[in-house]
A = this chain, B = another copy of it.
Amino acid sequence: MKVNENYLKLEKNYLFIRIAEKIKAFQAEHPEKKIIRMGIGDVTQPLAPVVVEAMKKAADELAVKETFRGYEDSGAGYDFLRNAVSGYYKSFGADVPACDIRINDGAKSDCGNLVDIFDDSNIILITDPAYPVYVDSNLMNGRRIVYADSDETNGFCAMPSPDGYLLEDQKVYPDIIYLCSPNNPTGAVYTREQLSEWIAYAKAHNAVILFDAAYEAFIKDSSLPRSIYQLEGSKEVAIEMCSLSKTAGFTGVRCGYTVIPSELKTTASDGTEVSLAQLWNRREGSKFNGVSYPVQRAAEAVFTPEGQKQVRESILYYQKNAELIAGTLSELNIPFTGGINSPYIWFKCPFALDSWSFFDKMLHEIAVVGTPGAGFGKNGVNWFRLTAFGDNQETEEAMQRLRSMIK
């Protein structure tokens, strides 16, 4: 057999391995130092009580023949959860019918698998810096990628280029556009006007937008869009991926959802109209069997009034960390984005250091760990990511240490 040799061209996932190695070496040398980790985007607060109760109740149902459930008919998610997600969208002004929503085991799976329904000849646009999964999942299919720069000049909100993008000395327009807002890693958030510009651009060039809304729950400013479907014309051009990982601490429970509006259609080479949702349902029908029933019940509980109250407490807890980090950076006159409507804070490395040198300096001088921006693309080489998902006290301690290092 022959393997898919696109895989052999991928860069190895060195980023977090290299970080882990550096931490290990430092700790071995300095066993007395207490390292504070603000690098990985994992949550630390426990699940909301109503979520745990819902999961346990569902487990009990499966213990009894009369209430036992096997395969979920469609694999797209139970109606109770799809309706709950639809209601959640409505609560912040997005009209997303339950039938356009598919429940999944987290945004990463769908984000990776969605590319299957598109032809490999499509040109992909990814902002730089970006979540590495966008890049890798397309390189695995041998696709060509153009990058839109997110940098200090545009507040890390890359905007579409009316003149197209250079690819192998040719001017091209992208077919598939990845946008993430609030952004990982930069924490920058697109305004309504900016997103509308992308929607118009996609429409003009017959492109589809894959919109990653995983951090929407952190948006405090109600003038900023939490879903691309809050904007007119989006349903004809955009797929949205979202997750309960950060909204409700589901990184270990695994549940998310993807929206493909029924309005999103294209034309096949023989002239027939093709619904992207139908293609995706066909893909998932053959390669996915739905999300665990107790997990779906747990997710449903997130969207109840009590669930929303409880998960907001954790979000507020993390937002307090984010404010603390943002406040400290302001005080130290370090340029940054994020931290206000986002759990990520992205700052320019002090002392004109590159991101790996700054990583080493932070680790060795103050035993604080973050993520070097270089791991997310070329526009990150002098930038650094901190996350707000840690413990309040540890975050405070880390900011004290940072102050002592900078001042």
A interface, CB within 8 angstroms of B = 1-5, 7-8, 10, 13, 40, 42-47, 49, 52, 55-56, 59-60, 62-65, 68-72, 105-106, 108-109, 111-113, 116-122, 132-133, 136-137, 140, 175-176, 206-208, 249, 251-254, 266, 268-269, 272, 274, 276, 279, 282-283, 285-295, 298
Choose among B55, B251, B268 the residue that contacts A8 (Cβ–Cβ < 8 A): B268
The smallest beta-carbon distance between A54 and chain B, in angstroms, is 9
- Tell me if B279 and A7 are in contact (CB < 8 A): yes
Taking CB atoms, residues of chain B closer than 8 Å to A42 are 70-71
Closest 10 CB pairs of A and B: A112-B287, A70-B251, A1-B175, A2-B119, A42-B70, A52-B63, A136-B286, A252-B293, A69-B252, A55-B59
Interfacial chain B residues near A68, Cβ < 8 Å: 44-47, 249, 252
Given A70-B252, A254-B291, A294-B295; 8 other pairs, CB 8 A cutoff: A2-B121, A45-B65, A55-B59, A56-B59, A69-B252, A108-B289, A132-B286, A254-B290
CA distance A276 to B5 in the complex (A): 11
The answer to whether B44 touches A274 (Cβ under 8 A) is no
Contact check, B122 vs A2: say whether CB atoms are below 8 A apart.
yes
A46:B59 contact, CB within 8 angstroms: no
Separation of A253 and B106 alpha carbons in the complex (Å): 16
A43 to B276, CA, bound (A): 32
Given A3-B118, A117-B3, A279-B3, verify A288-B251 contact (CB < 8 Å).
Answer: no
A5, B282: Cβ atoms under 8 Å? Answer: no
**B71 touching A252 by the CB < 8 A rule?**
yes
In the complex the two chains form, is B13's CB within 8 Å of A285's CB?
yes
- Report A38 CB to chain B, min CB distance, Å: 14
In the assembly, what is the distance between CA of A220 and CA of B263, in Å?
A: 52
| Contact across chains for B1 and A137 when beta carbons are under 8 A apart | no
Which of A279, A289, A290 has most B Cβ within 10 Å? A289
A4, A274, A292 — most chain B CB neighbours (10 Å): A292
Chain B residue, CB-CB nearest to A12: B282
Q: Cβ of A71 and Cβ of B251 under 8 Å apart?
A: yes
Whether the pair A276, B3 counts as a contact (CB closer than 8 A) is yes
A59:B65 contact, CB within 8 angstroms: no
Residues of B within 8 A of A112 (CB): 286-288
**Which residues from chain B contact A208 at a C-beta distance below 8 Å?**
1
Instruction: Quote the shortest CB–CB distance from A125 to chain B (angstroms).
Output: 11
Contact A292 B289 (CB under 8 A): no
CB distance from A369 to the nearest CB of B (A): 16
Q: Would A4 and B117 count as touching, CB distance under 8 A?
A: yes
> Which listed residue, B70, B105, B176, B287, touches A108 by the CB 8 Å rule?
B287
Report chain B residues within 8 Å CB of A272.
8
Which of B43, B49, B253, B288 is close to A293, meaning CB atoms less than 8 Å apart?
A: B253
Given contacts A112-B287, A249-B70, A287-B112, contact A65 B52 (CB under 8 A): no
What's the least CB distance linking A215 to chain B, in Å? 15
The CA-CA distance from A32 to B99 in the complex, in Å, is 33
> What residues on B are CB-neighbors of A105 within 8 Å?
105, 289, 291-292
Given A45-B65, A46-B62, A109:B175 Cβ within 8 A? no
Contact of A292 with B252 in the complex, beta carbons under 8 Å? yes
Task: Return chain B residues, CB-CB under 8 Å to A133.
Answer: 286-287
The reply to whether A46 and B70 contact each other, CB–CB distance below 8 Å, is no
Distance A140 CA – B119 CA, assembled complex (angstroms): 11
Provide the bound-state CA to CA distance between A283 and B240, in Å: 22
Provide the residues of chain B in CB contact with A45, threshold 8 Å.
65, 68
